[in-house]
Structure 1
Amino acid sequence: MDKRKILLIDDDDSVLVYLTAKLSKVFDVVSTVDATEAAALARTHLPDVILCDIDMPEMSGGEVAKVLEEDTLTARIPFIYLTSLVSPSETKDMDGMVSGRPGVSKRAQLSELLERIEEVLKRPGAQG
């Protein structure tokens, strides 16, 4: 069975290296430190889910999400914010939502991150 594909977007290369190593056991991982490449990568690879940092210099995670939502090819791909702006407990207090979207803290345990991804993939309307 083929692995599902995840697109990781984070301006911190060390975060991408770490998460790619961890998530590649479960997913086919495509990643970039350049948020401006996100839409092109999403169109090319059509990932099952996108995990995107919020606070980035070139484009914010919100701007990336907006560009993807406006494209009919990528609009239905589940999108999760990955952020250091909130702690794992704060994320739980907000019912897993960050700025109106599913989110997970960068400080969350890998098991929590995987659980959040699976949760979002099971939602009605999620492609994948």
Structure 2
Amino acid sequence: MRDRDKVLIVDDEQAIVELMGLYLKSEYDVIPAYSGQEALDKVKSEKPDIILLDVMMPDMNGYEVCRVLKTSVETQFLPVVMVTALSGKDDRIKGIEVGADEFLGKPVNRLELVTRVKSLLRIKHLQDKVLAERNEAMNYVDVAGFIIFVIDRDMKINLVNSKGNDILGYGEFELIGHDFSTFLVPDGIRDEIKATFEGAMDGNSHLPELIEHPVLSKEGKEVPVRWYDVVLKDNHGNVTGILCSGEDLSKFL
């Protein structure tokens, strides 16, 4: 049987925390917090599945808390519902800019609260399932011994497996967001590799079946790699990036 989802309710007014907790406690485990910093501490210690976050708090407001959560790799997919008496357009835009997933007005309507929480948790569970399946697939790839990169249309690294990080000497998330060609490809072949990738993503040329070229480790050392690259497309046939599978050749030298 699956454990009950945890809902973190954050508000500097205890009565509001208790009221929302009363609405939700029959279906969820409710965790209270009464300040922004306490909310961040509870996220680390309690691992909630969703946060109901007051905007107007004295020490650290809800926008600041949400920004911290949404810029952290560990909590970026944690659903955050901003609960506020503010109703202006600018207030909602500010919430969207810091990554809020939903908004609830005060006083909170019980049916609306329960519906929003249930809907966001359903989405979160689907995301968790996809991430778990991806991680399982990546584990199989690591066992096979290949370096894996996923590069988007802007040449940014969206994903790298642990084998790639290990061989190049990087931590788990250090390479994410960096430009593949300027960050990892040596100067002498950088323009050529970039032109090859961009041509393939624009549909003007095809990727070679395989190509051998080095990439740079964190220490600046060239690591020889045999690459098997494939263009990635979405369900509508639009190119989304390139999957780069590489075999480390240094072990043969």
TM-score band by shorter chain is: 0.7 to 0.9
1:109 and 2:126 aligned: no
Distance in structure 1 (CA, Å) of the matches to 2:111 and 2:65: 26
- Is 1:26 equivalent to 2:15 in the alignment? no
Structure 1 unaligned spans of 5+: none
Structure 1 SS opposite 2:120: helix
SS in 2 for 1:37: helix
User: 1:47 is matched with which residue?
Assistant: 48
Aligned length: 120
CA RMSD of aligned residues (A): 2.3
Instruction: Check conservation: 1:6, 1:48, Cα contact below 8 A.
Output: yes
8 A contact 1:55–1:61 mirrored in 2? yes
Q: Percent identity?
A: 28
1:1-128 → structure 2 map (5 Å cutoff): 1=1, 2-86=3-87, 98=92, 99-100=95-96, 101=100, 102-123=102-123, 126-127=127-128
Highest Rg: 1 or 2? 2
Partners of 2:57 and 2:109 in 1: CA distance: 22
Aligned counterparts of 1:72 and 1:82: Cα–Cα separation in 2: 24
The answer to which structure, 1 or 2, has the higher relative contact order (CA under 8 A, 6+ apart) is 1
Partner Cα distance (1:10, 1:114) in 2: 17
Amino acid corresponding to residue 56 of structure 2 in structure 1: D
Q: Is the CA contact 2:11–2:53 (under 8 Å) kept in the aligned structure 1?
A: yes
Relative distance call for 1:40 and 1:126 in structure 2 (3 A) is farther
Find the aligned partners of 1:108 and 1:29 in 2 and give their Cα distance.
16
Which runs of 5 or more structure 2 residues have no equivalent in the other structure?
130-253
Aligned partner letter, 2:116: R
| In structure 1, C-alpha distance between the alignment counterparts of 2:40 and 2:78, rounded to whole Å | 11
TM-score (norm 1): 0.81
Query: Using the alignment, how far apart are the partners of 1:117 and 1:5 within structure 2?
Result: 11
If the length of structure 2 is used for normalisation, what is the TM-score? 0.43
Letter matched to residue 73 of structure 2: T
